[in-house]
Amino acid sequence: MKPEIQLAVFASGNGSNAQNLITFFEGSRIKIALILSENPNARVLQRATLFQVPSVIFSMSELQNGQVLQQLKGYGINYIVLAGFLKLIPASMVQSYQQRIINIHPALLPKFGGKGMYGSNVHKAVFNAHETETGITIHYVNEYYDKGAIILQKQVALTPDDTPESIAAKISELEMKYFPESILQTIEKHNS
């Protein structure tokens, strides 16, 4: 049997995508080996405990000075997934995990991307722009917010009746369906 692939998930908040990934990969050779957050109050940490996945709370200085990178190496992490992680990944980590850091963004990049464009901020911006469609972008992470090569985009139609909240629900549905599958295909492509 092929060796297990160790995945680390960075998240800043609720952790619904992280939990979706944990259950999706259960029993496969891809294992969510570590959950990391810079937010000690993030609900994702409770989810990690619930599913018996080790978790690490780190400070931004630990992320910047390479301590987090050393922890990832200590856990034998092969891939990193950003699931609602709101901070910029340092260049040293990007270089160590070239084409092995995957992010999900709740809009069709390059639209509605960049610093400060996350969660409800994105859905409000899409709503205020009177877009007729939105979607998700799954992409590799580089040194800039939302600028890495795109792996997959999925669209959903919007109607004049949509609100920022209904847009959020449509996006969540796309994320739950396509994020785990896209990660699986990306890892399989790299390891075939």
Peptide bond into 3 cis (omega under 30): no
What pLDDT is attached to residue 107? 97
pLDDT in tens, 60-75: 999 999 999 999 999 9
Residues in Cβ contact with 28 at an 8 Å cutoff, skipping those fewer than 6 apart: none
> Cα(126)–Cα(84) distance, rounded to whole angstroms?
18
pLDDT of residue 134: 98
Other Cβ atoms within 10 Å of 98 Cβ, number: 10
Helices (H) and strands (E) in the chain, counts: 7, 7
Q: Is the pLDDT of residue 1 over 70?
A: no
Q: Which amino acid is at 187?
A: I
Q: What is the pLDDT of residue 2?
A: 67
pLDDT of residue 115: 87
Place of tokens 């996945």: 53
The pTM is what?
Answer: 0.95
pLDDT, mean of residues 36-52: 97
Confidence bin at 3 (pLDDT 50/70/90): confident
Tell me the average pLDDT of the chain: 95
Q: Which residues are catalytic?
A: 105
Structure tokens at 170: 């449509």
Per-residue H/E/C for 159-191: CCCCCHHHHHHHHHHHHHHHHHHHHHHHHHHHC
- What number is the average pLDDT over the span 165-174? 97
Whether 21 has a pLDDT exceeding 90, the answer reads yes
User: Regarding predicted confidence, which is higher, 3 or 170?
Assistant: 170
Give all domains of the chain, ordered by start, each with its CATH number: 5-190 (3.40.50.170)
Facing residues of 5 across strands?
30
pLDDT at residue 180, as a whole number = 97
Inform me whether the pLDDT recorded for 41 exceeds 90.
Answer: yes
- CA pair distance 25, 40, nearest whole angstrom: 25
Q: Kindly tell me if the per-residue pLDDT of 89 is higher than 70.
A: yes
